[in-house]
Amino acid sequence: MVLGKSIDCLNETQAWRENPADPDLVGIGVILSFILTAFAAVSTLALAFVNHGIPEEQYNCVDQKIISRLDSWLGHTTRALKKGPRKTVYQTFILALSDQTLVIGIALLITIYAQICDITAFTFQMANDLVFFCSTAYLATLTALRMHFKHNKWQKRLRVSLMAFHLVFLLSSTFIQYLTWTHDPGTLEVCVIDDYEDELGSTILDWLALVLFMVWCYHESLTADLRSDRLYGEEEHRYPLALSLEARFSRDPHFKDDLEAYVHEEKLRRLGKWQNLQMLLRGTPSGYPKPLYKFFKMFQIAGPDIWKEVASSLFTDVLTTVIWFGLAILYLVRHLQFEEVDLSPLMEWKFGQAIPAILLIVYAINAVESRNSVAHDTSITRGTAQEDAATQLSVQPSNDLVHNSSAGAERLASQQEALEPAVQEQNLPQDEATGYSQGNPASEPQQMVRRRTAQLQEASTASATATAQSHTSSPTQRRVSTLEMEDGRESDAQDLPDVDLVELVMKKSRGCGTIYVLIFLALIIGFTAFLFLSFTIAVIVGGEIYTLGKLFKNMQAVMGVRRVRKERRLQREAARLRIPNSYR
């Protein structure tokens, strides 16, 4: 007995259906609604990527390189698209797709579990394949609204919790699907589960590969750093996992200082790499290096950083969403190819099939409303900005006005000097001569001159100071492009200049940078093809490479910290014993 129903799976009349397809759950209208929604999410994310519809903090050098190349290829088309809707339109539309897909996906999963005694194995697997399309909209949402979720934590927690619930629900039904892979399409799902035919070992392996890949995709979309968070010079350094755990549980009072010393050493090493790249790009006194040697040497120095930039780029996130859409299509087509199943009932446009397809119009309405609301908000913002600009111009002088004010201050100063003999001829006291006499009318012209001169000089000084700060406090200009330190002093990790090896290669050697990016993109596309050919083997191989890379990074960091701690401990002991420097 299951869900209050007693079914005799040995009785063919109860356990088997002549027509296994249920049009109410997997009809043509339901299929089109899921496919078109996922396709709309992928298309919107791709358009947002090309048209800078995603916050600029999420773009990196690789994304800019790809977009510039697309501009040169597409030309007028891309430039025309950039005149379209703003970032909010894309984000609002993708969020609407995700919310509606989330509700529909959970509802479909609940339905197939509630009717597991009434639906066939074919209907169960088809419905589970349709729910896979929801992951496409989720990944698009986590990518496009990453900046929004960073500033709205409660919205992130709510949606991520619902997505996690949906993911667990989907993975459990997928395990049942894998467990009953070789099934009779007309048999009830509850009877197929009771007597599955596949080998349990291979089923668990395939299912674990899917779990690992889905969890990795969601984890990377949630924890991916914004470009501003990846810059050096931040207050909190991002340590490898092993160092973070050791820092949390270590009782050594000097461990934090030793860790900062290691970070300082790593930054010095990056500065050395930056200097070597500059020498390769500018040449040496003996001449420029050979092109082939320069290509491989630059790849040796900046290759790991370029790979990280490619892996963390928005283009890779868009490609991951496309991969999920392709996998969902592949699974769906595979189950539609059963020769034993008559698909004609699924193609009948009845009321239950027309409603899901007609509801797709809601997405178009949401897109139009989002664009109109953004246009209205933009006009309001422009009006407010114009009013603020007018107010600011009336209150704060511009650079030209300050220059004129400075000239006026000089003229007033000369007028003040001209008034001095007249003041002195009246034999006024010293306080009156300086303009503080309140009773004598002869001191009022000088008092006005002094006050006006002081006001103009203060305005000129404040404007010059603000201009200097605006030129020096920009985050882009704080990224120092030289190895010179002020006063030759040794600085800590936060005072070291920031260097971006990838940006240097992309700007100074565009040909080599483009080739490097194409090499890594070819590897990613090759891995994608490997996924479609053999999903389980591709995930296992990719997981092993990813795990070995993480282990190597953590081991390298731990060994580096141990070496620094040993050196600093010897230095502290030498200082405590007051051993001369020559014997240290």
pLDDT string in tens for the chain (584-residue length): 555 566 667 666 666 777 777 888 888 888 888 998 899 889 989 988 888 888 888 888 888 888 888 877 776 454 444 544 566 788 888 888 888 888 888 988 998 888 888 888 888 888 899 998 988 888 888 888 888 888 888 888 888 888 889 999 899 999 988 887 777 777 787 787 766 666 677 888 989 999 999 888 888 877 765 444 443 334 344 667 777 777 777 777 878 888 888 888 888 888 888 888 888 887 665 666 777 888 888 888 888 888 888 888 889 889 989 988 998 898 888 878 776 777 777 777 766 667 776 766 776 676 666 656 555 444 444 444 455 544 444 444 444 434 444 444 444 445 444 444 443 444 443 433 334 344 444 444 445 445 544 554 554 444 444 444 444 333 333 333 333 333 333 445 455 666 778 888 888 877 888 888 888 888 988 988 898 888 899 999 998 898 898 888 888 888 888 888 888 888 888 888 765 555 55
The CA-atom distances, in angstroms, between 269 and each of 20, 264, 498 are 65, 9, 12
Q: Can you tell me the distance from the alpha carbon of 498 to that of 504, in angstroms, rounded to the nearest whole number?
A: 12
CA distance 281 to 278: 5
pLDDT in tens, 75-133: 645 444 454 456 678 888 888 888 888 888 898 899 888 888 888 888 888 889 999 89
Backbone angles phi, psi at 340, to 5 degrees: -75, -10
pLDDT one-digit tens code per residue, 301-329: 888 888 888 888 889 889 989 988 998 89
CA–CA distances in Å: residue 110 to residues 172, 237, 493: 12, 44, 54
Contact 137, 41 (CB under 8 A): yes
Phi, psi of 4 (to 5 degrees): 80, 5
Question: In the numeric block, which tokens belong to residue 438?
Answer: 């309140």
Question: Is pTM beyond 0.85 here?
Answer: no
Q: Which of 137, 171, 126 is nearest to 24 (CA)?
A: 126
The string over 519-552, giving b where at least 16 C-beta atoms fall within 10 Å of a residue's C-beta and e elsewhere, is ebbeebeeebeebeeebbebbeebeeeeeeeeee
Say what the pLDDT of residue 501 is: 82
What per-residue confidence (pLDDT) applies to 331? Answer: 86
Write out the DSSP string of 50-80.
HTT-S-GGG--HHHHHHHHHHHHHHTHHHHH
> What are 57's two structure tokens?
């903090």
What is the longest distance spanned by two Cα atoms in the chain?
Answer: 127
